[in-house]
């Protein structure tokens, strides 16, 4: 197996989450090109978020070279393998699975134009996801606006809060706003008792804190009802098993990564929607829109909350991947 990589930079339109410390920084990652001994070639993304506990890029590339695979590297290779089979068969990832609806993602609502909420409504989104924990009072105000416009709301604290902050936050929400909240993702660092208390206030979802859960010991009820599955770093079968054993729902999301990673996530979401519709909630894969347009994202076309088919085989972008510069590990 030959692995090559191609570095890229993504330029956020705005600050992406509370874990980023309030500054919109450019983001580095690499695309991977994997050639198997039988001649199959597949592509995937490797986009570490050190802020969320991933090893940095150069460490991960060294690990990849040495065959030490993190969760993230395992997923990158698994996704490249999926892509290679589709390419070999001349199929697009959009030929598999069924269309999934996505939530709208808003990171910069504090400077959002007045008409934004109406515009999202017109585009027929049901659900809006907000990254919170940066400015609670204005966030609470904005949630109230979304609730009065009849949106379902997903919130993500990226574990920067605490039970105390969460209580304060909850107490300031109007009953209408509370009722609009589908779930709160990673309200603060995982602690069974404290998450249990928080879950008495609002439904919780588990994303980045998943390895803090003792899955062999835990019994129902868990303090969260939803698992956020990022194909970029989560093993799909393990998540399905947890969902079935603990009666959880799954929301598939992209990893605020490269468009190649985004379409891989959409592909996994579409397949799970076909095979396990009873488990699946709306997806959250439209993170490419958080970055300035580049030649890859220019090939992604959405119609409201739905992705349109991307041209090409596998995850698409055939013309761009063919002309990218590939470096040896
Ligand atoms: Mg999250």
Distance, CA 217 to ligand 1 centroid (Å)? Answer: 24
Cα–Cα distance between 143 and 182 in angstroms, integer?
Answer: 12
Buried b (16+ CB within 10 A) or exposed e, 267-303: bbbbbbbeeeeebbbbbbbbbbebbeebebbebbeee
**What is the whole-number distance in angstroms between the Cα of residue 296 and the centre of ligand 1?**
24
Q: What percent of the chain has pLDDT over 90?
A: 85
Q: How many CB atoms lie within 10 A of CB 328?
A: 8
The residues pairing with 21 across neighbouring beta strands, listed in sequence order, are none
DSSP state of 260: H
Active site residue 164: no
Distance from Cα 157 to the centre of ligand 1, integer Å:
7
216/287: higher pLDDT: 287
Q: What is the DSSP string of 304-327?
A: TTEEPPPSSSBTS-HHHHHHS--E
Lowest mean per-residue pLDDT among 72-76, 109-113, 138-142, 316-320: 109-113
pLDDT band at 195 (very low <50, low <70, confident <90, very high): very high
% pLDDT > 70, the chain: 97
- Cα(189) to ligand 1 centroid in Å equals 12
Burial 108-134 (b: 16+ CB within 10 A, else e): ebeeeeeebbeebbeeebbbbbbbbbb
Q: What is the mean pLDDT of residues 96-103?
A: 95
pLDDT greater than 70 at residue 32: yes
d(CA 260, CA 80): 10
Active-site residue (options: 99, 131, 172, 233): 131
For 131, phi then psi, to 5°, come to -85, 125
User: CA 329: distance to chain centroid?
Assistant: 27
Note the pLDDT tens digit of each residue in 278-302. Answer: 999 999 999 999 999 999 999 999 9
Ligand 1 geometric centre to CA of 208 (Å) = 6
Q: Over the chain, what is the mean pLDDT?
A: 94
Question: Of 99-108, 212-221, 268-277, which range is least confident?
Answer: 212-221
Secondary structure element (H or E) that encloses residue 238, with its range:
helix 236-246
Pseudo-torsion of CA 127, 133, 137, 142, nearest 10°?
Answer: -20
Cα–Cα dist 9/15, whole Å: 16
**Coil, strand or helix: which one is 117?**
helix
* Beta strands 181-185 and 204-206, pairing class: parallel
pLDDT category at 21 given cuts 50, 70, 90 is low
Q: Check: pTM over 0.75? Answer yes or no.
A: yes
The answer to whether 226 and 184 have CB atoms below 8 angstroms apart is: no
Q: How far apart are CA 256 and CA 27, in angstroms?
A: 10
For ligand 1, the distance from its centroid to the CA atom of residue 282, given in whole angstroms, is 14
131 carries an active-site annotation: yes
Ligand 1 center–CA 245 separation, angstroms: 22
Residue 131, helix vs strand vs coil: strand
Task: Please tell me the predicted confidence (pLDDT) of residue 13.
Answer: 85
- Concatenate the DSSP letters of all residues of 278-304 into one string: TTB--BB-GGGGGB---TTGGG--EET
| pLDDT surpassing 70 at residue 22 | no
* pLDDT score, position 23: 61
State which residues have CB under 5 angstroms from ligand 1, the bound ion.
Answer: 156, 185, 207
């Amino acid at each position: 197996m030959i692995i090559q990589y191609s570095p890229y930079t993504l330029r956020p339109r705005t600050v992406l989450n509370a874990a980023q410390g309030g500054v919109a920084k450019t983001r580095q990652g690499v695309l991977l090109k994997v050639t198997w001994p039988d001649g199959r070639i597949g592509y995937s993304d490797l986009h570490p978020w050190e802020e969320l506990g991933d090893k940095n890029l150069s460490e991960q590339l060294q690990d990849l070279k040495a065959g030490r695979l993190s969760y993230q590297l395992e997923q990158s290779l698994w996704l490249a393998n999926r892509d290679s089979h589709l390419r070999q068969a001349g199929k697009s990832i959009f030929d598999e699975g069924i269309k999934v609806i996505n939530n709208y993602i808003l990171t910069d609502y504090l400077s959002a134009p007045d008409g934004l909420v109406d515009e999202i409504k017109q585009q027929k989104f049901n659900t809006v996801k907000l990254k919170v924990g940066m400015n609670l009072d204005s966030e609470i105000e904005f949630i109230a606006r979304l609730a009065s416009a009849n949106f379902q709301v997903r919130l993500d604290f990226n574990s920067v809060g605490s039970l105390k902050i969460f209580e304060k936050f909850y107490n300031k929400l109007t009953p209408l706003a509370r009722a609009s909240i589908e779930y709160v993702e990673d309200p603060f660092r995982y602690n069974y008792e404290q998450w249990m208390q928080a879950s008495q206030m609002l439904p919780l979802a588990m994303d980045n804190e998943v390895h803090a859960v003792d899955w062999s010991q835990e019994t129902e009820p868990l303090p969260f009802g939803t698992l956020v599955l990022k194909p970029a770093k989560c093993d799909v079968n393990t998540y399905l098993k947890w969902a079935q054993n603990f009666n959880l729902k799954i929301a598939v999301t992209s990893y605020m990564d490269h468009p190649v990673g985004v379409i891989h996530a959409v592909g996994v979401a579409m397949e799970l929607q076909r095979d396990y519709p009873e488990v699946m909630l709306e997806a959250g894969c439209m993170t490419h829109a958080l970055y300035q347009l580049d030649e890859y994202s220019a090939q992604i076309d959405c119609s409201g909350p739905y992705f349109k088919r991307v041209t090409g085989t596998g995850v698409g972008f055939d013309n761009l991947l063919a002309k990218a510069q590939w470096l040896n590990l």
